[in-house]
């Protein structure tokens, strides 16, 4: 019957409620149109949630494939993750798929890492972080007498904070300041570490710089320094050492493709290779999303793209909710200097995840947040996913991702890139003993101008806004426009912030707000 009406049969055995709505619209019953800008984790995750709630959803992605920062790059037998490389907080992903009555295992596989990661503190000074608590306690005891017991004590408070955050803070949207400074925060603010800095907080437990750096390093991936991050972010140690570190089959791009698969099952239309150039508004409401090729009518618009770009450029004067002065006063998170390297031999000194912390890492942080410059002896991160996923590199070769956090807004010329890569590779050889200038089959540099070109990233940032106290929760950009009533935002700029799990939570918050406003 569907074929007689000129409608192709749905490719999945179970016709979704959304597909029935789409079919019914052909017979004159119009469904509500939701247009999602951007096909990264934020755009895809919000698209699936709105489709579940009965919206007719279209995702419009500028690039030729979905995934956003979590895209793959395939060349000469190597498959690189272009962006996110740590899979943390697995329960957030499990919860997300459960919202659809689905099991994450049906969309991608996960592999637990052992060890979690390797830390280089200097030549011949390394440590392995383990899934086994007793090994981590012994490691911290080796750093300083009593360090093992202090780690146990520190982890207890980190676990408590994490459980409170998950229950009372992360999955909540905030419309006004009173919802953030609530009774729980007022009575337990000191215990939760809202008003103390992380570096000082960790210093109450440990003197040894190696112990402190292991417990503080994640702050740079939240876009801030330990000296500026609220101590509540000690929850990251629970995420890191208790919940575990995993690797999705086919990398983080594989996880993004899993959510894209879910979208397609729910009837979401995904359009690639079309850049949104304008959000058309009338009388304080968005009515359409425009690309150079098409106009997509919209009853609701959700942006998973760069917040500054959408606010200032796509909405533009008269419809943007924040001034340029507001944006210039924000503490912007770091950009990243990244090198993708295909090395035609095995690397014995590296694990899947590897980190180097300089003895005085504040020098590096200062070049990011205080005196912007290319750091000369930088801390760095190396991933070697071929240690886990043999498909990511040709046989006998290694897939290497080298990352240095750097200040946003730096000059990023070809000459600067080449000179800095040579400098960093020399530094890597000195620290790790691995010479990544030899047997190089593939090399690609990705930095500020790439983030700006591919994602319209504000000042070339890789992460959005830093997690300072005044850029936490209610103090982050709003997930709903105050000027255009049916425009919403998800992604790393909004609450709860930076990181793929946080982006999934942001999309759930936005979907809840849309459901409360418009129903299903």
Q: Is residue 7 scored above 80 in pLDDT?
A: no
The H-or-E segment that residue 248 falls in is strand 246-248
Separation between Cα atoms, residue 48 and residue 241, nearest integer Å = 31
Q: What is the pLDDT of residue 24?
A: 42
Q: What is the pLDDT of residue 26?
A: 46
3-state helix, strand, coil in the chain (%, to 5): 40, 20, 40
Q: What is the pLDDT of residue 3?
A: 33
Q: Say which residues have a Cβ less than 8 Å from residue 61's Cβ, sequence separation at least 6.
A: 38, 39, 43, 270, 271, 272, 273, 274
In terms of Cβ atoms closer than 10 Å to its own Cβ (0-12, 13-18, 19+), residue 414 is exposed
Q: Is residue 6 scored above 70 in pLDDT?
A: no
Q: Say which residues have a Cβ less than 8 Å from residue 505's Cβ, sequence separation at least 6.
A: 92, 170, 171, 496
Residue 483, number of CB atoms within 10 A of its CB: 14
β-partners of residue 269 are 58
Under the phi-then-psi rule, with left for phi > 0, alpha for psi from -120 to 50, and beta for the rest, what region is 275? beta
Question: In the chain, what are the domain boundaries?
Answer: 17-108+251-329+466-518, 148-236
The H-or-E segment that residue 262 falls in is helix 251-265
Q: Is residue 29 scored above 80 in pLDDT?
A: no
* CATH fit for domain 148-236, picks 1.10.405, 3.90.1200, 2.30.29, 1.10.357: 1.10.405
pLDDT > 90: percent of the chain: 82
Q: What is the pLDDT of residues 124-179, one digit of tens each?
A: 899 999 999 999 999 999 999 999 999 999 999 999 999 988 888 888 877 766 55
CA atoms lying within 13 Å on the CB side of residue 358: 15
**Of 489, 491, 88, which Cα lies nearest the Cα of 252?**
88
Separation between Cα atoms, residue 199 and residue 230, nearest integer Å = 9
Q: Is residue 21 scored above 50 in pLDDT?
A: no
Q: What is the pLDDT of residue 165?
A: 86
Strands 56-60 and 33-37: parallel
pLDDT range class, residue 11, cuts 50, 70, 90: very low
Strands 269-271 and 246-248: unpaired
DSSP 89-157: -HHHHHHHHHTTT--GGGT--EEE-SSSEEEEEETTEEEEE-SSHHHHHHHHHHHSTTHHHHHHHHHHH
Query: Could you tell me if 246 and 111 are in contact, meaning their C-beta atoms sit under 8 angstroms apart?
Result: yes
The CATH architecture one would assign to domain 17-108+251-329+466-518 is 3-Layer(bba) Sandwich (3.50)
Q: What is the pLDDT of residues 54-105, one digit of tens each?
A: 999 999 999 999 999 999 999 999 999 999 999 999 999 999 999 999 999 9
Structure pTM? 0.91
């Amino acid at each position: 019957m569907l074929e007689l009406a000129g409608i192709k049969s749905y490719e999945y055995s179970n016709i979704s409620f959304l597909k029935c709505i789409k079919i019914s619209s052909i017979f004159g019953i119009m469904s509500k149109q939701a247009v999602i800008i951007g096909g990264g984790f934020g755009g895809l995750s919000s698209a699936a949630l709105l489709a579940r709630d009965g919206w007719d959803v279209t995702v419009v992605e500028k690039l030729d494939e979905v995934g956003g920062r979590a895209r793959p790059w395939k060349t000469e037998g190597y498959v690189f993750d272009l962006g996110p490389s740590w899979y943390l907080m697995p329960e957030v992903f499990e919860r997300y798929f459960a919202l659809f009555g689905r099991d994450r295992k049906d969309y991608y596989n996960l592999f637990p890492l052992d060890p979690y990661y390797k830390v280089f503190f200097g030549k011949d000074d390394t440590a392995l972080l383990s899934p086994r608590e007793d090994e981590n306690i012994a490691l911290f005891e080796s750093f300083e007498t009593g360090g093992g017991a202090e780690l146990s004590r520190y982890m207890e408070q980190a676990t408590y904070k994490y459980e409170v955050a998950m229950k009372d803070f992360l999955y909540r949207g905030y419309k006004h300041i009173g919802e953030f400074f609530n009774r729980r925060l007022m009575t337990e603010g000191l215990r939760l570490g809202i008003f103390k800095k992380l570096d000082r907080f960790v210093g109450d437990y440990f003197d040894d710089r190696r112990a402190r750096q292991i417990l503080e390093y994640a702050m740079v991936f939240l876009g801030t320094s330990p000296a500026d991050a609220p101590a509540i972010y000690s929850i990251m140690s629970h995420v890191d050492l208790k919940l575990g570190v995993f690797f999705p089959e086919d990398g983080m791009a594989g996880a993004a493709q899993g959510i894209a698969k879910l979208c397609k099952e729910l009837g979401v239309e995904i359009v690639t290779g079309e850049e949104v150039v304008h959000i058309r508004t009338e009388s304080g409401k968005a009515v359409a999303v425009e690309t150079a090729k098409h106009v997509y009518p919209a009853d609701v618009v959700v942006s998973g793209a760069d917040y500054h770009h959408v606010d200032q450029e796509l909405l533009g004067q008269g419809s943007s909710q924040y001034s340029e002065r507001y944006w210039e006063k924000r503490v912007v998170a770091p950009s990243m200097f990244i090198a993708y390297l295909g090395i035609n031999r095995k690397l014995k000194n590296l694990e899947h995840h590897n980190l180097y912390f300089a003895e005085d890492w504040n020098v590096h942080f200062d070049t990011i947040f205080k005196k912007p410059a290319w750091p000369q002896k930088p801390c760095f991160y190396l991933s070697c996913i071929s240690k886990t996923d043999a498909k990511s590199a040709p046989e006998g070769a290694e897939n290497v991702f080298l990352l240095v956090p750097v200040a946003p807004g730096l000059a990023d010329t070809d000459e600067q890139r080449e000179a800095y890569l040579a400098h960093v590779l020399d530094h890597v050889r000195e620290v790790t003993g691995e010479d990544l200038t030899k047997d190089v089959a593939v090399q690609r540099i990705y930095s500020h101008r790439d983030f700006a070109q591919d994602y319209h990233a504000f000042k070339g940032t890789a992460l959005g806004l830093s997690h300072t106290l005044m850029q936490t929760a209610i103090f982050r950009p709003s997930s709903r426009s105050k000027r255009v009533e049916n425009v919403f935002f998800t992604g790393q700029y909004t609450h709860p912030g930076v990181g793929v799990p946080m982006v999934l939570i942001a999309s759930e918050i936005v979907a809840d707000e849309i459901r409360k406003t418009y129903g299903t």
